[in-house]
Amino acid sequence: MTGSAREFVVEADGGSRGNPGPAGYGAVVLDAATGETLVEAAEYLGVVTNNVAEYRGLLAGLRAAAELDPDATVHVRMDSKLVVEQMSGRWKIKHPDMKPLAAEAARVFPPGRVTYEWIPRADNKHADRLANEAMDAGARGEQWSPSTSTAELDAATDRAASAGRTAGSRRSGDRPAAAPAGAGEAADVGTAGGDALSAGERLPRTTTRTGAGSAASGGADGAAGASGGGEAAVSGGGAIAGERVGRAARTGAGGTAPGAAGAPAAADVRAAKVVASPGWGPPDMGAPATFVLLRHGETPLTPQKRFSGSGGSDPSLSPVGREQAEKVAESLARRGTIEAIVASPLARTRETAGIVAARLGLPVTVEEGLRETDFGAWEGLTFGEVRDRHPADLDAWLASPDAEPTGGGESFAATATRIAATRDKLVAAYAGRTVLLVSHVTPIKTFLRLALGAPPESLFRMELSAASLSAVAYYADGGASVRLFNETSHLR
C-alpha cells in the first residue's frame, strides 16, 4: 500500500420483509477525511433472509470501495451485530448461506486493511434509506434507480431535524431520554426544522451512484436494507458531515461495542434486584437481546376465565385462537424483525409458535422454562369456584408470592426464580438478536415485572390479552427496557 492510499468509511444495511421475504440492500462509501459521499449502491435481491441480505450489502460496499481505490483502507460501520462480530473473527460463522459470502467479503481487500464497528441503527440511516428504496422498487417490479433516489437527502434532513430537536431540549433544560433503538424498532423520521434542508432542496453532488449490475456493486451482489437507520454524511453538509464522519474516522478496530451479556447473578437475586436501564444510558453497550413476548392464542378455557396452567388438561387452540395466531404471524412477517422462535412446551404455545414459524420460515425451539405456572388443584376452575372451594388458600395466594395454590402448585416466587434463570439463559444464547418467545400469562407478566423492578403484587395489576405482544430489550450491562406491552392492534 502506498502512502497516498485513501481511507474510506463503508456503511451497509440489509434486510428482508418477511425473513425470508422480498429483500434489498443499501451501501454507501464515504471519504473518511471529508465525509463526502463517493458511491451509493442499492439493489433488489428477490427473496432472501435478513442475515444473507446484510452480508450481500457488506460485499457490495467493499467492492464499491475497491473499485475506487484497491489500495485503500476501509472502516466498515453496520448495525448488524452478527456481521460485525463474525467478520471481526469473534463469532463463528455456522450458517451455510453466509459462509461463502463472508469468505468473499474477506477477499475484497488484503487482511488487516478492513476494520469493523457496530453502530446503533439510528446511525445508519443513509444505507437504510437506500435499502428500503431498493425493496420498494422490487415491490413495483423494478430495480433501484440512482436517478430517483433521495436517500442521501433524506438522511441529511433527518439528521439535521434530529439535531435541532436535541439542541432545543438541551436549551430548555430537558435531559434527552431516547432509548437505544432495539431490533425491530424503526428509527424516528423527523421533519425538517432549524438548519434542515427544505423539502425540495438538493445538495450539490459529486457522488458516483451504482445500481444493479454496475461495476461498483459487483453485479448481483448486494444486501437488503434493513429497518432502523442512521445518518449519512453529505457533500456540502457542513458540520453535520464533519461531526459524524470525524467520529467514524477516529474509531479503529477496537471501537466495536461489546455485545455479550454480562455475567448473570444468581436467578433469585436477579429476580429481586434487576432494574430497568434509563433510556439515556450510554449508547456503547451493543445491540440488546430483544424478547418479543407473545401470549398464545385462545383455548376453549380462555373465554371462560379458568385457571389453565402447566398441571392441567393442556388444551389446544380453539378456532378463534388459531385465527389469532394467523393474524399475529402476518403482523410479525410484515415487521420482518424476528430472528428466532422459542416456545413453552405446552400444546397451546407450541401450536401458536408453529403457525407463526410457518409464516416466517423459522424453526421452533422448545424451552421448558417458559411453561405456565402450575395451579395445582385449581386447574380448570374459575376464580369464583376456587373462592368457594379453597377460600383460605386463595387469600394466602393473593397476599403472598410465596404461597402455593392448593394441592402443591407453583408459587409466584418459584415462577419468578424460574423465569429469571430462563431469561439469563436466553439472553446469553441470543445476544444482539430479536427473539419471539411464545409463552403464557404468568411468565410474560414476570418478564415484564423483573424488567421494571416492580413488586410481586404488580402481577395482579396487568391485563394480558390472548395473542398479545409485549417486548423487553436486555443490554450487556444487565439493564432492561420494556418496549411494548399488551399490543393487540394486529387482531383488529
351 in active site: no
Q: Quick one: cell of 401?
A: 408470592
Spell out the long-range contacts of 382-385 with Cβ–Cβ below 8 A and sequence spacing 24 or more.
Answer: 382/304, 382/305, 382/306, 382/307, 383/305, 383/307
SS3 breakdown of the chain: % helix, strand, coil, rounded to 5?
40, 15, 45
Catalytic residue among 296, 298, 390, 410: 296
Distance, CA of 88 to CA of 108 (rounded, Å): 15
372 in active site: yes
Catalytic residue among 367, 372, 379, 410: 372
Q: What SS3 state is found at 62? A: helix
Residue 113 exposed, middle or buried by CB count within 10 Å (0-12, 13-18, 19+): middle
Residue 397: closest CA among 451, 408, 301, 464? 408
50-68 vs 125-139: helix crossing angle, rounded to 10: 110
Contact 285, 258 (CB under 8 A): yes
Contact 380, 313 (CB under 8 A): yes
For 352-367, give one letter per residue: b (16+ CB within 10 A) or e.
Answer: bbbbbbebbebebeeb
Start-to-end CA distance of the chain, whole Å, equals 61
Q: Which residues contact 96 (CB under 8 A, 6 or more apart)?
A: none
Distance, CA of 73 to CA of 116 (rounded, Å): 11
Return the active site residues: 296, 372
